[in-house]
Structure 1
Amino acid sequence: MKPTKVSRLLPLAACLAWNAHAVAGPAPVPTLTVIQGQAPEKAKKIVLYAVEEGRKTEIANAVVNEQHAFAFAMPAPKEGFYYLSADNRGETRIYIKPGDQLKLKMDNGAYTVLAGSAENKQLWQWQEQLSAISRHASLGDTTTYLSFFPTLEALVPKVAGLKKAVNTPNRKFNELLKYTMDVDVEHAAMSFLLIPHSKHPEKSQYPAYYRQIIQDKKYCDGRLLANGDAGRIVRLYQTFTYIMSTEKRTGPASLEENARLFCNDTIKGLFITESLGGFRTFDKLTDAITPVKQYLVTADQQQRYLAAEKALRKFAAGEQGFNFTGEDMSGKKVAFNDLKGKVVVVDVWATWCGPCKAELPHLQKLEEELRDKNVTFVGYSVDETKDKEKWSAFVKEKDMKGVQLFGAGWSEVTKFYDIKGIPRFMVFDQQGKIVTIDAPRPSTPELKALIEKILGKG
Structure 2
Amino acid sequence: MNQFNASRLLPLVACVALTARAVAGPAPVPSLAVIQGQAPEKAKKITLYAVDEGRKTEIANAVVNAQHAFAFAVPAPKEGFYYLSAGDRGGDTRIYVKSGDQLKLKMDNGAYIVESGSAENKQLQQWNDQLRVISKPAGLGDTSSYVSFFPKLEAFVPKVASLKKTVNTPNKKFNELLQYTMDVDVEYAALLFLMTPRSKHPEHSQYPAYYQQVVQNKKFCDSKLLANGEAAGILRLYAMFTHMMAKEKPKTFPSLEQMSGLFCNDTIKGLFITESLGGYRTFETLTEAVAPVKKYLVTDGQMQRYLAAEKAVRKFATGEVGFNFTGEDMSGKKVAFNDLKGKVVVVDVWATWCGPCKAELPYLQQLEEEMAGKNVTFVGFSVDEEKDKEKWAAFVKKQEMKGVQLFGAGWSDITKFYDIKGIPRFMVFDQKGNIVTIDAPRPSTPELKALIEKTLSNG
TM-score range, shorter chain: 0.5 to 0.7
1-structure distance, mates of 2:14, 2:265: 30
* 1:193 aligned residue: 194
In the superposition, relative to structure 1, how do residues 6 and 168 fare at CA in structure 2: closer, same or farther (>3 Å)? closer
- 1:102 Cα offset (Å): 0.8
Q: Measure the CA separation in 1 of the matches of 2:311 and 2:65.
A: 42
| Identical counterparts, % of pairs | 70
Q: Given residue 37 of structure 2, which amino acid in structure 1 is its aligned partner? A: G
Partner of 2:270: 269
Q: Which residue of 2 aligns with 1:172?
A: 173
Provide the residue aligned with 1:360 in structure 2.
none
Q: How does 1:146-161 map to 2 (within 5 A)?
A: 146-161=147-162
- Residues of 2 paired with 1:9 and 1:296: CA distance? 33
Q: Structure 1's 205 and 9: CA in aligned 2 closer, same or farther, altered over 3 A?
A: farther
Matched residue, 1:256: 257
Q: Distance in 2 between matches of 1:260 and 1:2?
A: 33
Measure how far apart 1:276 and its partner are.
0.3
1:242 partnered with 2:243: yes
Change (3 A) 1:8 1:51: farther
Q: Which residue of 1 aligns with 2:433?
A: none
**Quick one: which amino acid aligns to residue 209 of structure 1?**
Y
| C-alpha spacing 1:14/1:206, structure 2 compared with 1 (3 Å) | closer
Aligned to 1:370: none
The aligned counterpart of 2:457 is: none
- Deviation of the 1:12 alpha carbon: 2.3
Query: Matches of residues 36-75 of structure 1 in structure 2 within 5 Å?
Result: 36-75=36-75
CA distance in 1 between counterparts of 2:53 and 2:289 reads 22
Q: 1:3 to 1:15 in 2, by over 3 A?
A: farther
Shift in alpha-carbon separation, 1:6–1:13, aligned structure 2, 3 A? farther
Corresponding residue for 1:184? 185
1:65 and 1:94 map into 2 onto residues whose CA distance is 22
Assess, with a 3 A threshold, how the Cα gap between structure 1 residues 315 and 103 changes in structure 2: closer, same or farther: same
Q: Identify the residue that residue 286 of structure 1 maps to in structure 2.
A: 287
Name the CA shift for 1:196/1:8 in 2 (closer, same or farther; >3 Å): farther
CA distance in structure 2 between the partners assigned to 1:209 and 1:8 by the alignment: 48
C-alpha distance after superposition, 1:311-343 (max 9, x if no partner): 112177946xxxxxxxxxxxxxxxxxxxxxxxx
Equivalent residue of 1:284, what SS? helix
Give the TM-score, by structure 2 length. 0.65
The 5 A counterparts of 1:68-87 are 68-87=68-87
- The alpha-carbon distance between structure 1 residues 248 and 13, as it changes in their structure 2 partners (threshold 3 A), is closer
Change (3 A) 1:93 1:193: same
The answer for the alignment partner of 1:32 in structure 2 is 32
Partners in 1 of 2:271 and 2:21 — Cα distance?
Answer: 35
Q: Secondary structure, in 3 states, of the residue corresponding to 2:189?
A: helix
SS, match of residue 252 in structure 2: coil
Q: Does 1:95 align with 2:96?
A: yes
Which residue is equivalent to 2:220? 219
Q: How does 1:290-329 map to 2 (within 5 A)?
A: 290-314=291-315, 318=319
Matched letter for residue 182 of structure 2? M
Distance 1:193 1:14 in 2: 41
Name the amino acid aligned to 2:265: N
CA deviations over 1:239-291 (Å, ceiling 9, x no partner): 01011111121101000000100000000000000000000111111111111
8 Å contact kept, 1:8–1:76: no
2:340 is matched with none
Q: Which amino acid aligns with 2:240?
A: T
Alignment map for 1:416-427 (pairs within 5 Å):
none
Q: Is the 8 A contact 1:15 1:73 kept in 2?
A: no
Amino acid at match of 1:115: S
- The root-mean-square deviation of aligned C-alpha atoms, in Å, is 2.5
- How many residues of Structure 1 are paired with residues of Structure 2 in the alignment? 315
1:279 touches 1:285 (CA, 8 Å); kept in 2? yes
Q: 2-side partners of 1:307 and 1:237: how far apart?
A: 25
Whole-angstrom CA distance in 2 between matches of 1:177 and 1:270: 21
1:386-414 deviation per Cα after TM superposition (whole angstroms, max 9, x unaligned):
xxxxxxxxxxxxxxxxxxxxxxxxxxxxx
CA distance in 1, matches of 2:291, 2:317: 16
Unaligned runs of 5+ in 2: 1-6, 321-459
Residue 11 of structure 1 is matched in structure 2 by 17
Query: Distance in 1 between the 2:26 and 2:121 partners?
Result: 26
**Hey, what's the Cα distance between the residues in 1 that align with 2:254 and 2:272?**
14
Cα drift, residue 145 of structure 1: 0.2
Residue 75 (structure 1) shift = 1.4
Matches of 1:205 and 1:48, distance apart in 2 = 40
Q: Distance in 2 between matches of 1:141 and 1:264?
A: 35
Q: Which structure 1 residue ranges, 5 or more long, are not aligned?
A: 24-28, 320-458
* Matched AA of 1:307: A
